[in-house]
Amino acid sequence: MVDNQGCSPALEPVPTPPNPDPSSISQEAWDPLEAAAGAVVARIQPNPPSEDRRAAVIAYVQHLLRNAQLYHLKDNGDFPPLSS
């Protein structure tokens, strides 16, 4: 059996504070937040290097699939029999 006496008590949910009025937040507080948000958006939005990597992955996978199909056609020489 498992000894539960050493376990910590269950955590109680912490109530979230109400959202502040955006106009009550100072510009000095907004600046680092906007910079961080901009960095996240720049990483997730498509850009030329990410699109190039994406295209390279697609081309590689298509190449693998084409080679696998050719190998299977050469290997058994025919389509597999239909099963009912």
Query: Per residue of the chain (84 residues), what is the pLDDT tens digit?
Result: 556 566 666 777 777 777 777 788 888 988 998 999 988 888 888 889 988 998 999 999 888 888 776 655 555 555 555 555
- Residues making up the chain, counted from first to last: 84
pLDDT at 56: 93
Residue 32, Cα to own-chain centre: how many angstroms? 25
* Predicted TM-score (pTM) of this structure: 0.36
Residue linked to tokens 């502040």? 20
Rounded distance between C-alpha atoms, residue 26 and residue 31, angstroms? 9
Expressed in angstroms, the distance from the first to the final Cα of the chain is 52
